Amino acid sequence: MQYTKLGHTGLDVSRLCLGTMGFGNASTGMFPWAIGEKPSEAVIKEALDLGINFFDTANIYSHGDSERFVGHALNKLADRDKIVLATKVFFTPTQGPNLAGLSRKAILSQIDQSLERLQTDYVDLYIIHRWDYTTPIEETMEALNDVVKSGKARYIGASAMFAWQFEKAQAVAEQHGWTKFVSMQNHLNLLYREEEREMLPLCADQGIAVTPYSPLASGRLTRDWAGETKRYATDKVAREKYNDSKDLDMPIIARVGEIAQKYGVDRVQVALAWLLQKPTVTAPIIGATKSSHLQGAVKALDLTLSAEDIAYLEDPYLPHELVGPLASAGDTKFTR
């Protein structure tokens, strides 16, 4: 495993992060493709065995079950001081006054609930899952600063917002001497590169770690589009993100296959190697639900793409409509 610093911090993280959105009880109805506690523990053990020390979850994933599964497994299998644990705040299963969002009340309540589920005194990285259009950013940043100063989080990060919003939050924190964000978890892969316009240059300039979610486009970069999996059949959010741009994306998927054949590797390694060569990318978040998913992903660390390979993969890309949170600003219903 390779390790790097998380942006401009002194924190060492593996070049791949295990994303745990797929850990939970499928019966809750949130993610029909989710795996239960025992399979989740097996995936976490495989990650640890491979040298992965960076784990990402969220309070909303499977209504808290992901945090419970992650907390139980890591307490059983890992040395807490050696791992980097991230969770998120914004969404809650129940929609009602003062529950979701980034108000001071919500943040201070949700961090305690997350820590209880995770069975830990602190998280290493506490990430805001969205931009809150109904709460002053000053209130949010001061509350996050207090979470850090209380020892309940070591660092804070952001996710899924416009570059101007991220810069505004950082400016407010700097103005008041509060804790600033050290990472950006955004939507980035070969099929969706709109973040290259403003967010990636901003993060490069400010030394912000980039930890992309959906690095394999929910599996679309790992197989022919017609390849059928349970997630492909049941993941409505992924279909909303990618199906409308299918005609634009098919040439890119074909080229991923060609490069994979050229090097005698799987497509997953090509897609991840493309991300890993970007100077701003710290650790793509791998949403593994099988040990084999991680085993395949780790091999990407040994694949070096040439400048010609990268140009060949990137050339067919055309501008895409904004999708996910950027296309539904202000929505407090979970969409990723």
Beta-carbon count within 10 A of 115 CB? 19
The catalytic position among 3, 61, 122, 317 is 61
Cβ atoms of 77 and 41 within 8 Å: the answer is yes
Task: Please identify which residue in the block is written with the tokens 């053990």.
Answer: 45
Q: What Rg value do the Cα atoms of the chain yield, rounded?
A: 19
Sign of the CA dihedral 46, 48, 53, 54?
positive
Q: How far apart are CA 244 and CA 303, in angstroms?
A: 31
Q: Active site includes 263?
A: no
Burial class (CB in 10 A: 0-12, 13-18, 19+), 319: exposed
Q: Which two tokens stand for residue 175?
A: 């103005």
Contact 282, 54 (CB under 8 A): no
For residues 72 and 40, give the distance between their C-alpha atoms in angstroms, rounded to a whole number: 10
Dist CA 15 CA 52 (whole Å): 8
Neighbours of 28 (CB within 10 A): 14
Residue 133 DSSP class: T
Give the torsion sign (CA, 336, 157, 185, 293). Answer: negative
- Enumerate the β-bridge partners of residue 18: 55, 286
* SS3 assignment, position 211: coil
- Calculate the CA 194 to chain-centre distance: 16
SS3 331: coil
In the DSSP assignment, the letter for residue 189 is B
The Cα–Cα gap between 264 and 35 comes to: 31
Number of alpha helices (DSSP H) and beta strands (DSSP E) in the chain = 12, 10
Active-site amino acid positions: 61
